[in-house]
């Protein structure tokens, strides 16, 4: 293992220390329990948006804390979901009185830890709603698996919902918007190389020099297929066509019902893309793939979208939801409406995303 670290067990702590020193105007860092929060939190009467997950996906989530995006982010150990006390303390810290939205990626650990935290926060009198992101089309089945994983759409949901909260939407409206972003977003990723979790010291899986894995998750979860490596155009086509052409996906997720005061099962269906849709195209690096290659991917993605009648109205290209040093990329397409476009364009000022201010 070759990494720019000191001790494997200090990686997350030292990263957070660096973050606090690098962006004092944007964020503060709370230790034990660990969370990153907006420097001006709590913002009175604004819905607070919180996310979190294992570390190793930087800049997500800590790098998206700031004006117009997240109010707080809870980093777990590398590739390990954070613990409920982190989300509970973060929720208490950033609650401005208008309630808190938890944006949770669909991993069993994240769901359970966030559920426990939401229950504890509600027991302390804070309004909390939770929305699950599950957009990874590489997972076809939700009956015999945990279901689609939460990947690229998470970044887009955090930006759009953060802007909505900044604009004064109430909690229910921010949650409804987040659910809408989730069901309109689809992603798929691929890996050329594995990555190494510092504490494990060894790669999480193995790929031969001439192999790639299509449909990989952001922790190296296996995808649809392991195969001989192909050209950028062929890879882009495999990812994009899965995203565009896969049939509607139905799943049951748990959400908190404020009227019944209990967790309820909600069935959601994502509509497939169709000609005429306006989309945001997000080409993401898994960490080890350079910008030069992402633009080659984008070039082909643009051509495919045009051929399919999808109009790319916004794009995001770069390393935003990474998997340590893994080489590879993911593509996310989000079907946008006027409201989402307006919120996407709204000012944002975070360590990882910044425009309009």
Partner 1 sequence: MPITTADVLEFLRRSADVLHENKEYLTELDSAIGDADHGINMDRGFQNILKKLPSVEDKDAGTILKTSGMALVSSVGGAGGPLYGTAFMQAGMALAGKYELTAEDVLAALDAALKGVMMRGKSKPGQKTMIDAIDPAVTAMREALDSGADTLEALERATAAAEKGMKDTIPMLAMKGRASYLGERSIGHQDPGATSSYLLIRTMAEMAREKA
Active-site amino acid positions: 57, 219
Residue 58: CB minimum distance to partner 1, A = 17
For 129, which DSSP code? E
Strands (E) across 31-112 are located at 35-38, 48-55, 72-78, 100-105
C-alpha closest to that of 177 among 131, 110, 238, 142? 131
Peptide bond into 76 cis (omega under 30): no
Q: Give the x/- contact pattern for partner 1 in 24-63, rule: CB under 8 A.
A: ---------x--------------------x---------
Nearest-angstrom CA–CA distance, 184 and 271:
7
Examine residue 83 and tell whether it contacts partner 1 (CB under 8 A): yes
Nearest-angstrom CA–CA distance, 188 and 281:
12
Nearest-angstrom CA–CA distance, 99 and 298:
38
Residues 197-236 that bind partner 1 (CB under 8 A): 197, 199-200, 202, 204-205, 217, 219-223
Report the residue number, 32 or 261, with the smaller CB distance to partner 1.
32
Q: How many residues bind partner 1 (CB under 8 A)?
A: 35
Residue 59: CB minimum distance to partner 1, A = 20
| Contact pick of 59, 63, 66, 76 for partner 1 (by CB under 8 A) | 76
The stretch near partner 1 (CB under 8 A) out of 59-67, 109-117, 227-235, 290-298 is: 109-117
Report the residue number, 9 or 234, with the smaller CB distance to partner 1.
9
Residue 190: CB minimum distance to partner 1, A = 15
Nearest-angstrom CA–CA distance, 33 and 90:
9
Q: Give the x/- contact pattern for partner 1 in 272-291, rule: CB under 8 A.
A: --------------------
Are the CB atoms for 104 and 86 separated by under 8 Å? no
Nearest-angstrom CA–CA distance, 335 and 277:
6
* Residue 69 backbone dihedrals phi, psi, to 5 degrees: -140, -115
Residue 275: CB minimum distance to partner 1, A = 32
Half-sphere exposure of 50 (CA within 13 A, CB side): 35
Are the CB atoms for 286 and 330 separated by under 8 Å? yes
Residues 145-204 that bind partner 1 (CB under 8 A): 145-146, 149, 197, 199-200, 202, 204
Residues lying near partner 1 in the complex (CB under 8 A) are found at 33, 54, 76-77, 79-85, 107-109, 112-113, 115-116, 139, 144-146, 149, 197, 199-200, 202, 204-205, 217, 219-223
């Amino acid at each position: 293992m070759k990494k720019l670290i000191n001790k494997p067990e200090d990686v997350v702590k030292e990263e957070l220390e660096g973050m606090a020193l690098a962006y004092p105007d944007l964020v503060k860092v709370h230790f034990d329990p660990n969370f990153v929060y907006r420097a001006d939190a709590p913002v009175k009467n604004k819905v607070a948006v919180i996310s979190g997950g294992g570390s190793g996906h930087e800049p997500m989530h800590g790098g998206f804390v700031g004006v117009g995006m997240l109010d707080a982010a809870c980093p777990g150990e590398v590739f390990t979901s954070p613990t409920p006390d982190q989300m509970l303390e973060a929720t208490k810290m950033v609650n401005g009185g208008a309630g808190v939205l938890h944006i949770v990626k669909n991993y069993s650990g994240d769901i359970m830890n966030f559920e426990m935290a939401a229950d504890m926060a509600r027991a302390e009198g804070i309004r909390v709603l939770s929305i699950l992101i599950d957009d990874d089309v590489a997972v076809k089945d939700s009956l015999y698996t945990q279901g689609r994983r939460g990947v690229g759409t998470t970044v887009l949901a955090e930006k759009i919902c953060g802007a909505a909260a900044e604009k004064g939407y109430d909690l229910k409206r921010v949650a409804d918007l987040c659910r809408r972003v989730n069901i309109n977003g689809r992603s798929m990723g691929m890996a050329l190389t594995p990555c190494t979790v510092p504490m494990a010291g060894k790669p999480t899986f193995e790929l031969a020099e001439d192999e790639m894995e299509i449909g990989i998750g952001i922790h190296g979860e296996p995808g649809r297929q392991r195969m001989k490596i192909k050209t950028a155009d062929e890879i882009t086509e495999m990812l994009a066509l899965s995203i565009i052409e896969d049939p509607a996906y139905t799943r049951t997720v748990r959400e908190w019902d404020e009227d019944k005061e209990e967790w309820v099962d909600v069935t959601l269906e994502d509509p497939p893309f169709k000609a005429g849709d306006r989309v945001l195209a997000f080409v993401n690096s898994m960490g080890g793939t350079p910008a030069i290659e992402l633009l080659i991917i984008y070039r082909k993605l643009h051509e495919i979208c045009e051929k399919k009648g999808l109009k790319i109205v916004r794009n995001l290209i770069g390393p935003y939801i990474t998997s340590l040093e893994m080489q590879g990329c993911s593509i996310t397409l989000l079907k946008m409406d006027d409201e989402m476009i307006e919120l996407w364009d709204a000012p944002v000022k975070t360590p990882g995303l910044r425009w309009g201010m």
